[in-house]
Structure 1
């Protein structure tokens, strides 16, 4: 009996040791949780960073010359032009020509956002600047072109900002894709101010180009999938940084900076704990995926799993879907407005039905992404109203979402996830 117990104890000890060594092995995200997607070569993303550096160099020089401790690109693009008047903006656009040419090449190349970039490397690659400010620069260029009477060129430049935003969502995480949503917002605002000045042929051309851009939007589920690998990489970097910290307290500036004895004791177990964290996150994402691409009106805000409801990060990611739906719907409205303008300029009147716009002015009439149904449209006395049912999924007959407590249109007609009413073209923001 004692022999059997000793044998059992020995086997248990060996098994525990083997499992311990296996569980505490160094974390290898690429090997354990799937390799990162192969990036195209050349990649438009790299050209995008190059364009950013070129335009930032010009902007920094303008900042130095004007002795303003402000973000030069934002101030150049400010509607008031208090710091940089129009002739200075013209100089900025001319001197940024090389950067805009690089950006134009980037938009024509295969484009994939790297699934994970360590924050230290990201900051150095974009020099602490958000890529979405390139879209702001494009709107400055668009304003300048319009001031010179080149409204078609101005509209094309505004479309470049929208395309930049959509490209930013390719092979992107949800978090990085939201930067693309911001780029699109800049482009849409610039585009809508140019439509009235376009010829029928120009408006139809831009409607078809925007249709092509909209067709390349990735599914929300694809971005959620990318979050899994990016999350694993981020944790891996944090763990490696902890393991590489000196253990001798004398190597730190203050005693508070040094890891505690308990922390140092727990570090060998970090890999095992980390694996559980990553797998728990992945399981929550996997539960969410079946709900990620269903029509907005029939979606479930959270899957039924109790574990998922407790995962606040995943719930937050799912909530971000609203911004992508809103951006796609408003881009679809821009496409329809371009086609409506072309129809009106050609025939002298707006069509009675949106279907009359196809195929002459655009390929297919885009849908309302919030309803997975045709966009609502009404024409009366040579005026029209175009609307989406909005996030509440209810058709209010074209009554725009409105917060009457606000006075500025940017906040009064701002569309939020809990808004009631409709997203009306040329009113809602």
Structure 2
């Protein structure tokens, strides 16, 4: 186990059990800042499209464009931001990513208050907010392993994943409540203030721990990050598995909307409730993974959890076919959410601990491109399949295909790695082998 833990901070009793992550002042500050940023992000993701409908009386296409504008920067800028994290202060990246979003929302609020907000301005604002979000998302993932050691990093990632789950549950409801009770302008101002609070928290992080990992002249290139992901077998297998799972899960979410309304006769509210139960499962799963994740057989836990997550969604059409009460359909989403949270916590920990520190940002960005890039493809494929085959057939096809694709890690040597030290050794071995083959050694 000692090979997986970085040198403890000065004054730490090496023989004592590791302190909980929230007792580390720097990580506690990161977590509080992330909580504020994630809360504001979820409110914004739901609130900006809501403004198109309620304030601008826009069309469905315009609603979709504003939603997409917040997502496109993930694909456009992640690789670039990943290289910045090696040659720039992580504290500066986190402060900028949150302060910029706050300023843009203050501007949207001012325009809304003076009846000068138009769709084009809102669309540009959504794109700018999405661009700044890339800074926070990659910066926070690179920052966490600078503040916590191996075992505590698993617990810390569990807390960060739990934050995401809670804000995903509460964000849409909070956005609707604020817009309805305070109006569009004040909703933008309140959300902007949350982002600014996150920026202020990030500004107090220790500068020494978050200084650039390398000199500007030695910073890794985008190509170096992509090459490492491809050559390192554990990272590559996790990346492919995550991309396939996200593609199928987004396809399932699209198909289930059609299936729920047209086949099961559910209302939009009931569909939202059933799917939303997955966030409850994710909260539980992330907290459990944070507590016991460091004691699990790492490869086995990754392999089993992603398969259980797939089986949870396969359970949904099975329960529906058996005539189960509507609310019980949520059991499948709860299982999916809990198991997927365990997988995510452990996969993020591997991705943070295995690459060389100087490549961490570039590797994180490359991984996110693959994982997020499959989402719109999955949504499109799900919609087309529902039209061609019908909703009932489509929901079964996607669920079965997801379950089959979740077995990928069973063919990976990663499943035999019990600890992070073994994953690192596997990554080093496969990386050297790839280089030897490439150079003809």
Does TM, scored on the shorter chain, surpass 0.5? no
Q: Which has the larger radius of gyration?
A: 1
Which structure's relative contact order is higher, taking Cα pairs within 8 Å and 6+ residues apart? 2
| Greater share of residues in helix | 2
